[in-house]
Amino acid sequence: MPLSVTRRRANERAKACFLRACELDVAVRKPGNVSLASAGHGMTAQQFTVSSRAAAEPLFRPGAGVGERIEAAVQASWEAAGCNTNLGIVLLCAPIARAIDLRPDASTKAPLLREAIDGVLQSLDLADAQAAFRAIAQAHPGGLGSAPDQDVHQPPSVDLRTAMALAARRDSIARLYRDGYGPLFELVAGVLGPGFAPGAADALAPNDPGMTVEVAANVAAGVQRLYLALLGSVADSHIVRIHGEAVAQTVMAAAQRWQRLQGPLVGAGGLDADPDFAAWDASLKAQRINPGTTADMTVAALLIAGLTGPG
C-alpha cells in the first residue's frame, strides 16, 4: 500500500531534523566530544557526519520496527565510518522515528509525540531485542563488558524494554527506554524554551559564513546549554563504565561551573570566547574522557526540539 502523503512528509521532515541534530552535534564545541573544532578519541568530525548520513535512511525507513531500524542504521554507520560513532544516538532516535512513522499527526506536537513514543516503548518485543543486541555487539562500545542477565553477546530471552530495564541502573539510555522520554522533553522545554529552532538539515551550520553572527551564536549557545545541563545533572554512563563514578562526578561538577558561567558570557561571544572552555575540552580528551552518552542524549533532545519547535 502506498504511503500517505502525510506519513511520507512526516518521515522526511523527521529525517531532516535528525540530520540537522547530528550536524549540530559536531558543529558546536562540546567538551570531551569530537567536533569540527577539535578531533579526539581517534575520531574526526567527518566520520560522525558520514555515519549520520548513512544511518538516516534505514533509521527512518517506513514500516520498520525499532530493532530493525537500530540494526540497519548501525550496520550502515559502521560501513561508512569504520568505527562506532553513533550507537547511542541510533538507540535513542529509533523509537522517535518509529513513533512518527506510526503517528505522523504527533510529529510536531510535543505532548502527542511524547505519548506516541511511550506507545512504541510499550510495544517493543523479542525481535526488537534480538536485532538491537546484534547491533550493540557489532558496535562494541567502549567499556561494554558483560552482564549477568541478558548479556548482549548472547541471544535475549525478553523484549527490548525489559532488557533495557535490567541495564537501567548502569546506563542512561537504558533508563529512558525503561522510564520513557519525559526527561528529554522536559529538558527541551526547560533549557531551550519554545523559541529555539535548530532548523532542518539544509539549514546553515553555526560556523557557516552565510549565517548571521547573532543567529549562529544563539544556536551554538542552545546546543551547549543542552549539553551542559545533561552533563551537570547525570553522571555520564560512558565515563562511569571506563573511568569510574568519581571521575564522572568530577566532570559533572565542572559542567555545573560552566553552566553558571554561560549566562554572563553570552553577550561576550559565549563560552567559546573563553580560552578555558577550549582548554577543558583538550584536557578531557588528553585524559581519554569522553562524555559520549551525554552527547547521544543531546542529539536526541535536538531532534525533539527540531520536530516540536518553530521553523
Residues lower than pLDDT 50 in the chain:
1, 142-145, 200-206, 209-210, 311
- Enumerate the domain spans of the chain: 5-211+292-308
Return d(Cα 285, Cα 239) in angstroms, integer.
Answer: 12
pLDDT of residue 192: 83
pTM here?
0.91
